[in-house]
Amino acid sequence: MSNAATDSRDGHRQKAVLYRMVMTDHRCPFGLKTKSLLERQGFDVEDHWLTSREEVDRFKSEHDVDTTPQTFIKNERIGGYSEVREYFGKRVKKEGETTYQPVIAIFAVAFLMGLSISWAVYDTIFTLRALEWFIAVAMTLLGVQKLQDVETFSTMFLNYDLLAQRDVRYAYLYPFGETLAGVLMIAGSLIWIAAPVAIFIGAVGAVSVFKAVYIDKRELKCACVGGGSNVPLGFLSLTENLMMLLMGLWMPIRMLAG
């Protein structure tokens, strides 16, 4: 659908009529998002505030709708925020949709943090230690995601981890082990603790993911960024475990060589 905000007949900007909740104790965030989106698309917004529950209920009844905000363009009801995004041809995330965004965000931030630490310590960005810090920070951030809700994480983790399926307690210990190993590797301290932990959980995780995805061909959600994620179990999940395994093998070698 066209997203032009200028009426070709007279060159005037189009007008959108928006009804949204603006109450003393609640200002609807989707109403604010809708107004901002309409303005960014070049529309003049006729902004109607629904300032009481009675006004909201009356509006819903009059227009036979279940939710607010509601947007009208050229006397046609477009709908709420998601419908307005669709009207302008913008992507709308569907409920339960699988996405790699959480993992990509964590890896990207971890990479930048690794470079930042390298700059702070060595006054240069691209060093071997920057790569080590990247992996260690990624492990820590992924661990923190799991620690936010260990119960939910453990439930999802039990779908595919072979050791956790034999001993459920391992599902509860895993986030603490990953976070501890990451923190110690950032510091470069107590590697005799961090390395075995990383090797163990990385190896078990890699085997578990490989079996579930590439042998059993199961379509599962990954618990790598916590139990509530919609990240599909697959290549990135395997990468997380292999990174831990390789880091656990590398750190003692580097320290002995140094």
pLDDT in tens, 148-204: 999 999 999 999 999 999 999 999 999 999 999 999 999 999 999 999 999 999 999
Q: Does the pLDDT value for residue 49 go beyond 50?
A: yes
Burial of 44 (0-12, 13-18, 19+ CB in 10 A): middle
Please report which confidence band the pLDDT of residue 102 belongs to, taking 50, 70 and 90 as the band edges. Answer: confident
Residue 20 contacts residue 49 (beta carbons within 8 Å): yes
Residue 1 maps to a domain: no
Q: Last residue of some domain: 38, 61, 87?
A: 87
Q: What is the pLDDT of residue 96?
A: 59
Q: Which of 74-78, 86-90, 94-98, 103-107 has the lowest mean pLDDT?
A: 94-98
Residue 132 contacts residue 139 (beta carbons within 8 Å): no
Q: Cα separation of 177 and 167, whole Å?
A: 16
Q: Does the pLDDT value for residue 258 go beyond 90?
A: no
Q: What is the pLDDT of residue 8?
A: 45
Kindly report the three-state secondary structure assignment for every residue of the chain: CCCCCECCCCCCECEEEEEEEECCCCECHHHHHHHHHHHHCCCEEEEEEECCHHHHHHHHHHHCCCCCCEEEECCEEEECHHHHHHHCCCCCCCCCCCCCHHHHHHHHHHHHHHHHHHHHHHCCCCCHHHHHHHHHHHHHHHHHHHHCCHHHHHHHHCCCCHHHHHCCHHHHHHHHHHHHHHHHHHHCCCHHHHHHHHHHHHHHHHHHHHHHHHHCCCCCECCCCCCCCCCECCHHHHHHHHHHHHHHHHHHHHHHHC
130 and 67 fall within a common domain: no
Q: Which of 30-44, 52-66, 136-150, 229-243 has the lowest mean pLDDT?
A: 229-243
Please report which confidence band the pLDDT of residue 97 belongs to, taking 50, 70 and 90 as the band edges. Answer: low
Q: Last residue of some domain: 24, 54, 87?
A: 87
Q: What is the pLDDT of residue 2?
A: 47
Q: Does the pLDDT value for residue 19 go beyond 80?
A: yes
- Residue 54 domain boundaries: 15-87
80 and 106 fall within a common domain: no
Output the six-digit token pair for 52: 């009481």
Q: What is the pLDDT of residue 176?
A: 96
Q: What is the pLDDT of residue 233?
A: 82
Please report which confidence band the pLDDT of residue 45 belongs to, taking 50, 70 and 90 as the band edges. Answer: very high
Please report which confidence band the pLDDT of residue 255 belongs to, taking 50, 70 and 90 as the band edges. Answer: confident
Residue 187 maps to a domain: yes
Residue 52 maps to a domain: yes
Q: What is the pLDDT of residue 99?
A: 77
175 and 63 fall within a common domain: no
Please choose, from the candidates 185, 175, 158, 151, the residue with its C-alpha nearest in 3D space to the C-alpha of residue 225: 175
Residue 213 maps to a domain: yes
224 and 133 fall within a common domain: yes
113 and 76 fall within a common domain: no
Residue 43, domain CATH = 3.40.30.10
Q: What is the pLDDT of residue 1?
A: 45
Residue 235 maps to a domain: yes
Of 222 and 58, which is predicted with more confidence?
Answer: 58
154 and 244 fall within a common domain: yes
Please report which confidence band the pLDDT of residue 117 belongs to, taking 50, 70 and 90 as the band edges. Answer: very high
Mean pLDDT value across the chain: 89
Mean pLDDT of 205-223: 91
75 and 105 fall within a common domain: no
Q: What is the pLDDT of residue 3?
A: 52
Q: Cα separation of 94 and 86, whole Å?
A: 12
Provide the number of structural domains found in the chain.
2
- Our measurement of the distance from residue 6's CA atom to the centroid of its chain's CA atoms, rounded to an integer in Å, reads 36
Residue 24 maps to a domain: yes
